Structure 1
Amino acid sequence: MRYTRVLMAGVLAAAAVTGPAAAAVQNRGLTEVTAVAETAPNWDDEAGGDANADDPAIWVSPTRPDRSVVLGTLKNGGLTAVDLTGKQLQHIATPPAPEEGQEPGRFNNVDLVQGAVLGGRLRDLAVVTDRGRDQLRIYSVDRRGADAKNKVLTDVTSPKAPLVFSTDTAEVQDQRTAYGVAVIADPHGPLVAVTRRNEARIGLFRLIADGANVTYTPVTRWDFPTSFKLRDGSTWAPCEEPGDRPQFEGMVFDRTTRTLYAAQEDVGIWRVPLTGRPELVEKVREFGQPAAYDEATEECAPTGAPAPDAGRHLSADAEGLTIAYRNGTRTLYASSQGDSTFAVYRLNARGLTYRAGFQVVDGPAADGVQHSDGAAVTTRSLGARFPHGLLVVHDGENTPHDADREGTNFKLVRLEQLP
């Protein structure tokens, strides 16, 4: 998640200026929806426990859908579990640094798998990337859901859980660590895709039982391009901080085709078959536009016009991805973080087809959504509050503000509002 990105010239650059008038220029023609509930504000300072909301996941109760639970990562602030009104049920702190001078836990993304059989046990599991310590944390979900209250999650991470990408604890301190995550069921144990911070790499891991606990083992990995050939014959590379490569974060598995969709933040959306060659199927608006990094401002600024190769529907960063399954169709929702909107795609054999866009605006129950990172969706009826399904999205600028404190949270949206 990065809020300072390369901006296109013209109308997109104007829309990047803060304020409702600028937003209206960019967002004309988009469907406007409102949240019916939100979680409590999180404050990214010492008084607030350094809590910064990032990525949600939805656990759906198989027996009492209205008792379903939303999980959300809070980075240094840990992991939260809330009910469908947004009220917190349980809070889990990050693990401390393993040794003095080393990084403590920092929970970045979360995903869920339900009905997994591991070690002869049927389990619902939440998998969290611990970006600080470069590990996966695994939690068992109590099937009572919200009725389990502050016991809805139990840590079942094996003490033998290995580092995800780093070779040793010294490399962990560089923080090129586990970042985004997506999980899919598999007869041999759930498969977990994990992105690496500041690298163009995704690793695939398998969850395995370790007695009553759960650990993981590597399966394969993909390394993606860091520069791209444009149609005019030139080569373009996304603007990054010196030493960084264009990273991935938001991901989702299409469970019907066992295909991974992964958002490379400054590039676009990749379609990644578990067996086969990855394909870039959607580009951000900034794709191909020259830009330079300014050391003084620590920002990228465009140095040329937008490229003919650019996409039309996503403004970098391309972020949270989630898939809705309904009546034989698959709909991919993608967070366009750069202009605080969401793009809607229909998945098909050729990849994806753009259908519409929407933004979450201020409503009577909650404020709107800006700079959204993670997203999660279900089409299951969750009772009277969400009879047709639920979309949960991260809000990177929760209001009202509290002086200079950075406030974030999660918004809960009725699915029937979406285009």
Structure 2
Amino acid sequence: MRALLPAMVLAGCATLPPAPTTLAENVTARGETEPVGTAAADAADDPAIWRNAANPEASLIIATDKKSGLWVYGLDGRRRDFVQAGRVNNVDLREHGGRIVVAASDRTDMANAKLALFTLDGATGKLMPAGTRAAGAGEAYGLCLGIVEAKLYAFVVLKDGTIRQIDPADGAVVRTMKLATQSEGCVVDDRTATLFVAEEDVGIWRFDARPGGNTTPVPVAKVDGRTLVADVEGLAIAANGADGGWLVASSQGDNAYQLFRLPDLSPAGRFRVVAGRYGATSETDGIEVTLGNVGPAFPGGLMVVQDGDNAPAAQNFKLLAWDDVKAALGL
């Protein structure tokens, strides 16, 4: 059931039914991961990318199997490691304090959210558990990390739209924010200290990510049946320069991906991943983008998207060259 928007935003924002076919350009994948370990289930969910600046070909992808744990993949799509971690749903990472910190939303206990922490060894591709932090009552769902005012924070999005900003060092809940209905996807633009959150049937919102910042959500884009078709799912930042680039969203309802220009957040085009050597994508949950050299196949950047239907195999993740996305959209 669709929830009401706050009165200040409701006027003129009624959700329209999705068009039979919404406009989008076509892109084909340049690679894919091996399937996650859980077969015949909705299991793959969210990816994160560690770009190896010293050796881009050795960059790694960390991805959730939300029935059992975390996978590490190389750019060739092959499995490098697996950590049994329970029902981890979303994943993100940051290099901070001399470590590659990986965090995931842990919904193993549906009534009590947890933040699961790991460190990634970039040389071996191994994940090492680093404990959990309580994230309060409720079902852990979305998760993103941000470095704000030189400090690392985790943002845990509960299924009911509650967002808790947590200090992973000690588990302290720094502050709480709220959206009205089911929310999941989130991303932090470290450059501008902005948190973006996807309220699935309503649209994308932004918050001040600073611990002392305003907790009032500001609308970015609504689910309108054209630009975004419910559910709006994964979010990613394709950072270019001091504050430029694009916010990217998974428009799950029509199997497309929508771009918004940064910093003004105007629509910048949309695309679908169509059948090629590695197949099309559909019903995408999580996405991630990193720009810069990510090896010979991805010289201008890499986008990783979850594929909800990789039949006859289990779900997996498709790898896109950002150069292909830019060419398709004329960016």
TM-score norm. by structure 2 comes to: 0.87
| Alpha-carbon shift at residue 326 of structure 1 (Å) | 2.0
Does 2:183 correspond to 1:272?
A: no
| Alpha-carbon shift at residue 397 of structure 1 (Å) | 1.0
* DSSP 3-state at the match of 2:192: coil
Does 2:26 correspond to 1:113?
A: no
Q: Distance in 2 between matches of 1:392 and 1:84?
A: 10
Which residue of the partner structure matches residue 247 of structure 1?
Answer: 182
Instruction: Say if 1:394 and 1:410, in contact at 8 Å, map to a contact too.
Output: yes
| Alpha-carbon shift at residue 62 of structure 1 (Å) | 2.8
Distance verdict in 2 for CA 1:162–1:82, change over 3 Å:
closer
Specify which of 134, 138, 145 is matched with residue 117 of structure 2: 138
Which residue of the partner structure matches residue 340 of structure 1?
Answer: 255
Specify which of 306, 316, 320 is matched with residue 230 of structure 2: 316
Q: Which amino acid aligns with 1:250?
A: G
Q: Which amino acid aligns with 2:121?
A: D
Distance verdict in 2 for CA 1:67–1:263, change over 3 Å:
same
Runs of at least 5 residues in structure 2 that lack an aligned partner in the other structure: 1-14
Which residue of the partner structure matches residue 165 of structure 1?
Answer: 136
Does 2:163 correspond to 1:217?
A: no
Q: Distance in 1 between matches of 2:74 and 2:37?
A: 20
Which residue of the partner structure matches residue 125 of structure 1?
Answer: 101
TM-score norm. by structure 1 comes to: 0.69
Q: Distance in 2 between matches of 1:88 and 1:261?
A: 30
Distance verdict in 2 for CA 1:259–1:373, change over 3 Å:
same
Does 2:302 correspond to 1:408?
A: no
Moved segments of 4+, more than 6 Å = none
Q: Distance in 1 between matches of 2:37 and 2:93?
A: 25
| Alpha-carbon shift at residue 44 of structure 1 (Å) | 4.6
Q: Distance in 2 between matches of 1:257 and 1:186?
A: 9
Q: Distance in 1 between matches of 2:150 and 2:57?
A: 31
Which has more strand, going by share of residues? Answer: 2
Show CA shifts across 1:308-332 (max 9, x none). Answer: xxxx300011111101122452211
Does 2:158 correspond to 1:196?
A: yes
Which residue of the partner structure matches residue 170 of structure 1?
Answer: none
Which residue of the partner structure matches residue 256 of structure 1?
Answer: 191
Does 2:279 correspond to 1:371?
A: no
Which residue of the partner structure matches residue 292 of structure 1?
Answer: none
Q: Distance in 2 between matches of 1:62 and 1:207?
A: 25
Aligned residue pairs, count: 304
Q: Which amino acid aligns with 2:91?
A: V
* DSSP 3-state at the match of 1:92: strand
Q: Distance in 2 between matches of 1:282 and 1:142?
A: 37
Q: Distance in 1 between matches of 2:240 and 2:133?
A: 38
Instruction: Say if 2:116 and 2:133, in contact at 8 Å, map to a contact too.
Output: no
| Alpha-carbon shift at residue 59 of structure 1 (Å) | 0.7
Show CA shifts across 1:60-102 (max 9, x none). Answer: 11321110100000101311000001100001112xxxxxxxx
Instruction: Say if 1:396 and 1:408, in contact at 8 Å, map to a contact too.
Output: yes
| Alpha-carbon shift at residue 200 of structure 1 (Å) | 2.0
Identity %: 33
Specify which of 280, 283, 293 is matched with residue 222 of structure 2: 283
Which residue of the partner structure matches residue 26 of structure 2?
Answer: 32
Q: Distance in 2 between matches of 1:319 and 1:41?
A: 21
Q: Distance in 2 between matches of 1:320 and 1:384?
A: 26
Q: Which amino acid aligns with 1:156?
A: A
